[in-house]
Amino acid sequence: MKLVMFDHDGERHLGALRPGHEDQVVELTPLAHDLLALIDAGESALAEARQIVSGGGARTRALKDVTLLPPLDPPRGNIIAMGRNYQKHAEETAHGGEAKPPTIFTKAITSVTGPYDDIAIDPSISADIDWEVELAVVIGRRGANIPRREALAHVFGYMVLNDVSARDIQNGWGGQYFKGKSLDRSCPTGPWVVTRDEIPNPQGLGLRLRVNGQVKQDGNTRDMIYPVDATIEWASKGMTLLPGTVIATGTPDGVGFARTPPEFLKADDVMETEVEGIGVLRNRMVPARALIRD
């Protein structure tokens, strides 16, 4: 299934794309009020959701008539992110050589934004905003010290994530990964979560990122240094992964700051962030406005 959160008439709803008719959204709100609640309800609730989606009695809306929201807003805890998990990206960022345990950092839950939302650029905060296409893993089962052979059984599903990064903050404030990757509403996710059964092998998915139609990144998850199962094993060492946790598994080469000359996003640029078999995010960069969010 492709599970979504959507807004209709100012109200949030859980839904799923109808198989074979993915221009339609089947409402699942009577089953669970959001995706996190569905994950918490376990396999029986997921089986019931499949029955509702395949049946004919549930309320259905046209996809074009709803606004897609981030599937998990917020996820359960900060997004766990893997740094330098593709060899060519490690090399382009001057961290090549023998693969070592990956860098793990987190992104604030307030960085999450929708699959088609605008992203604000505020030059007083950062002038070096960069892109990173990533496969995101949504954890479905609680676990710590998860053996690699059991890791994929802990996955609920997968989605697309763009780890938009303020490079001047990340690299120029003494190595502030958390701050540089946690600007408010800067991390688009979605457009839906594809359940694990539809992607039995996550190590063969193309990843592409385009800016204004021009391809900037073109990679494949087969090139991960630490594949998804090894990433989960490493991330769970001595640390419990909770249902609803999101793991961003790293980006391939082609990021802006490593180009010659460096390239950064500017107002009116449009990013398209794609993972094969999942979907495409489309986000426009816009000037920041004097706006305080509660």
Spatial separation of the C-alpha atoms in residues 278 and 24, rounded to whole Å: 16
Is 226:64 a contact under the CB 8 Å cutoff? no
Helix (H) and strand (E) counts in the chain: 6, 19
- Tell me, what's the pLDDT at 56? 79
Residue 191 CA to residue 94 CA, distance in Å, equals 32
What is the per-residue pLDDT for 291? 46
Residue 100 is predicted with a pLDDT of 72
Other C-beta atoms lying within 10 Å of the C-beta of residue 239: 11
Per-residue pLDDT, 290: 45
How many angstroms separate the Cα of 170 from the Cα of each of 126, 211, 237, 258?
10, 21, 26, 14
Cα–Cα distance for residue pair 10/145, rounded to 1 Å: 41
Q: Output the tens digit of pLDDT for each of the chain's 294 residues.
A: 999 999 999 999 999 999 999 999 999 999 999 999 999 999 999 999 999 999 878 999 999 999 999 999 999 999 999 988 998 766 777 655 555 777 899 999 999 999 999 999 999 999 999 999 999 999 999 999 999 999 999 999 999 999 999 999 998 866 788 999 999 999 999 999 999 999 999 999 999 999 999 999 999 999 999 999 999 999 999 999 999 999 999 999 999 999 999 999 999 999 999 999 999 999 999 999 744 455
pLDDT given at position 94: 61
pTM of the predicted model, to two decimals? 0.94
For residue 134, give Cα distances in angstroms to 31, 158, 218, 222: 30, 10, 11, 13
What pLDDT score was predicted for residue 99? Answer: 56
Cβ neighbour number for residue 99 with a 10 Å cutoff: 12
